[in-house]
Chains A and B, each alone.
Chain A
Amino acid sequence: MARPNNARYLESHEWGRLEGDGTVTIGITDFAVDQLNDLTFVDLPEVGDKVTKGEAFGEIESVKAVSDLIAPVSGEIVEVHSDVDGDDFSALKTDAFGKGWLIKVKPDNADELNEGTKDLATYEKQLEEEAH
């Protein structure tokens, strides 16, 4: 799966992408989905909730692990991917950067998305290092 060049990446394997309408779409990378190969549950917040950069906005579970979902930007949630909230992961598995998105956020400050996050090349370098 090709990872998009126009997204920003977190070390903890979330991605965020600034859309044309000024919102930021947030998801997790195909690598994270692979790592959590026994996905059982995704817990997402509600529209109208606030998220804070660097803090958890939800959780993703496999049979024997739970991981926080970390927000790459602060703002207010404008849309939640209801198909994924719960236990249907087909979209996550086939299209992590497209149909597998998790939430859309109206950012308090869109520039924040670039602060402390990685571009694609840097993120892929991280993945290479983690493989060793």
Chain B
Amino acid sequence: MPFIQHTDEDRAEMLKAIGAKSIDDLYVDIPADIRVKENGDKVKLNPSMGELEVTRHINALLAKTKNAGDYAFFRGAGIYNHHVSTLTDHIALYDGNFITAYTPYQPECSQGTLTSVFEFQSCITALTGFEVSNAGMYDGASALAEAVLMGYRLTADKFRKETRETVVLAGAVHPEYAATVKTYCETTGLKLVTVGAGKDGRVDEAALKAALTREAAVVAIQSPNFFGVIEDVESLVKQAHEAETTIVQVIAEAVSLSVLQTPAEAGVDICVGEGQSIGNHMFMGGPAFGFFASRKDFVRKMPGRIVSETTDRDGRRAFALALATREQHIRREKATSNICTNQALCALRALIQLAAWGKGGFIELGKQVVSKTQYARKTLGSIMGIELQHADSPVFNEFVIRTKPGLDPALQKQGIMGGLPLDVVEMGQPGDYLVAITEMTTREEIDRYAAALTELLHPNGHGGKE
């Protein structure tokens, strides 16, 4: 049998030591009438397959797929086609010392994992400006939901004599994140109010003001938001704090932290985000990880694992899990969250990738993304029949164009995966496309995309606006 090393002789010796006649004797506590019979067909699984057969099977499944590498690729919306360094896979995919260990509860034989988590936290601190980062969450969506719950606890604890149970969510938050926040709010009994975006693609500040009643506990925004637009975070923070609420910022494209003001400097209380774009493959949207950062004062309200530097008995530097009393294995029903297993390996990937880019590489990456995005926005925007949305608002790596619906199949035939049709995710009207750029996008691909769009919109000739 695959992966089992016992011989019949081993099994016989062990049974003899136990004093059992057969392994079946060890299952006396399962009523005989529901026990699955040896060689029966009650559990309908296929016969066992060897390495060669399963490889063939998987490759046959893969033959029925296409991926970003098969296209000039302009889709993002939360999962981005960045370069992943070979170093990242060599260490975090193939080194069994990282991938076949578990949660570092025993620090003496887990210093490798613990040190890397500490370095990961330090990198998140460098990116966000916050003094506290945890070891990671499942993804950006659930990290935002947990941040909203934490934000609620912070406000509720401060104003214990009031009932403040409303969550104010920006409408330009990623629809998958918004849906997750809604689920968590419904189950915990918090009220959710959504504030839409204005014509400029940013939070409608007048609507936000109206939503910030005394019942409001938390404001949650995304910047850059789902449309790619960079919000005026400082102004939103000011409003949220004037209303004595907690403000959470979520970031879907973590690479934006290379050039944009840190959430800590903007005054945000909790910053969370999706970490996929740093060192994690796309994998249909997971696994990657969520990051979660906040101020030191709030550390006891934070969910998830946290690693601290300390010393060993001989005074040497060592690392250990810290402040574990927040967590479910100790505080049980009063824990800050039920999270246990997280996405540690994906966080390790981000650490390796950030170090591989380094300080200089990360800023260069950000600048390349901005330059290419500007080029693409200008190039596509100059085509007759394409209208840039939120044209006067700053964007980092994504932007929305409005044109004729239904262009997608024709583009795909030419090997171009155009921007995401926003009507499909109920974030726009037919003909609205969210176009994403990374450092992988070449000028040639952008020009090809533009030419194909021009051809589709103007089959009989010239499509320039001049």
Contacts and interface: CB of A to CB of B under 8 A. Distances in A.
Direct A–B touching in the complex (beta carbon < 8 Å)? yes
Interface string A41-81: 10000100100000000000111111000000000000000
B97 interface: no
Interface stretch (B196-204, B269-277, B323-331, B396-404): B323-331
A101 B83 CA distance: 59
Contacts of A66: 325, 330-331, 334
A80 to B, nearest CB: 14
Question: Which residue among B160, B324, B325 has the maximum number of chain A CB atoms within 10 Å of its CB?
Answer: B325
Contact of A40 (B160, B325, B331, B334): B325
A117 B330 CA distance: 28
A62 B325 CA distance: 8
Interface in B352-384: none
Interface in B11-49: none
A17 to B, nearest CB: 27
A21 B160 CA distance: 29
Contact of B330 (A41, A49, A64): A64
A40 B160 CA distance: 25
A114 to B, nearest CB: 30
Contact of A65 (B160, B300, B325, B334): B325
Contacts of B324: 63-64
Nearest to A43: B300
Nearest to B320: A63
Contacts of A49: 160
B372 to A, nearest CB: 49
A64 B321 CA distance: 11
B148 to A, nearest CB: 23
B359 to A, nearest CB: 35
Interface of A: 40-41, 46, 49, 61-66
18 contacts: A40-B325, A41-B300, A41-B325, A46-B160, A49-B160, A61-B325, A62-B325, A63-B324, A63-B325, A64-B324, A64-B325, A64-B330, A65-B325, A65-B330, A66-B325, A66-B330, A66-B331, A66-B334
Question: Which 4 A-B residue pairs are closest in the complex by CB-CB distance?
Answer: A61-B325, A66-B325, A66-B331, A66-B330
Given A64-B325, A65-B325, 6 more contacts: A41-B325, A61-B325, A62-B325, A64-B330, A65-B330, A66-B331
